[in-house]
A and B are shown apart, each in its own frame.
Chain A
Amino acid sequence: MSADIAHDLQASAKERAAPLPLRARLVLALGPATSLGGLAWALVQPWRLTLLHPHGQGFWWLLAEAPLYVVLVGVLFRLLLAPGIVEDIKAGVER
């Protein structure tokens, strides 16, 4: 095996093994916690989701799916914002 490749593999293994700082874990947890909250709300009050019984509902009632908004906000936060924030927290810790 080439020494360069071996070095890269070793470095990436170290990177993978390095534990995430608590702050990074908390940031990563914000989105899923929000989505779980929305999911729990949808289970407790399913009548708030008019998509489950759309017959006879008007446009605004079909648009106003509040528990789904909460789930969506959590998912988008986790996918779009959290990774960059975690990267920057890690970069700060490594320096």
Chain B
Amino acid sequence: MIAAGLLPQAEMVHWWFATGFLVLGLLLAAESVAGGEAWGRRPWRRYLWPGLMFGLGVCLWPVMTFYTNSTIHMIAHGSWAQVLMLAGGAELGLARGKLTSQYWRLCTVLAMLVSGGALLAHEQQHWLFARAAFLHHALGWTIVVGAVFPLVQAFRPRSVAAAAGFAATVLAVSVMLYADRDVAPIFGHLSPSAGVQHR
């Protein structure tokens, strides 16, 4: 009980992850605009977004530990942590040259399908129950549909449209995470069983 009082609220954790995804989206957008050649001219830059993706996966472990209020939440957060680390690790391997096959990009596709699927599966309420429920559904579908972009990149690594689409998907995820509140209405709807809106 004391530990729960000391922890930041879930919505704040969403905003911190939103900031991580905003940085990730900006890096991906800059890479898609600059082009792979210019982006890779400074070797350290190649590791930036894969490293951040891996780091976001690592940061999800404490979320799984401290924000587990049901088994399905634990499985969802744990699976996100694993697949984000896998995707980040694969991209780091590609950036370093230790992995050479472009099909390692499919790890990002897997990460997005698992993340989106987990978001949809662990949201028990309908779309208009509260803002958090709406955003879980919206995030889940955005990520599942957005998986098409890294899928295209796995087969056509130089596709600018796919790179821009991937960046846009990550930026959309960031915006939705920033919009999250623990108890807030969505389009004027807030179920009485959602709790009391605190702010």
Which residues of A are in contact with B by a Cβ distance under 8 Å? 23, 26-27, 30-31, 34, 47, 60, 63-64, 66, 69-70, 73, 77, 81-82, 84-85, 88-89, 91-92
Q: In the complex, A69 Cα to B23 Cα: how many Å?
A: 10
A-B contact pairs, 13 of them (CB 8 A): A27-B33, A30-B29, A30-B33, A66-B15, A66-B19, A69-B15, A73-B19, A81-B27, A81-B45, A82-B30, A85-B45, A88-B39, A88-B41
Q: How far is the CB of B22 from chain A (nearest CB, A)?
A: 5
Residues of B in contact, count (CB < 8 Å): 24
Partner of B26, one of A47, A73, A92: A73
B contact face: mostly helix, strand, loop, or mixed: helix
Beta-carbon contact of B22 and A73 below 8 Å: yes
Query: How many A-B residue pairs lie within 8 Å, measured between CB atoms?
Result: 68
Q: In the complex, A30 Cα to B12 Cα: how many Å?
A: 25
Q: In the complex, A66 Cα to B199 Cα: how many Å?
A: 15
Which residues from chain B contact A26 at a C-beta distance below 8 Å? 33
Partner of B8, one of A47, A64, A84: A64
Q: In the complex, A5 Cα to B42 Cα: how many Å?
A: 31
Which residues from chain B contact A47 at a C-beta distance below 8 Å? 199
Q: A70-B22, A73-B22 are in contact. Are A89 and B34 (CB under 8 A)?
A: yes
Q: A47-B199, A60-B8, A66-B178 are in contact. Are A88 and B26 (CB under 8 A)?
A: no
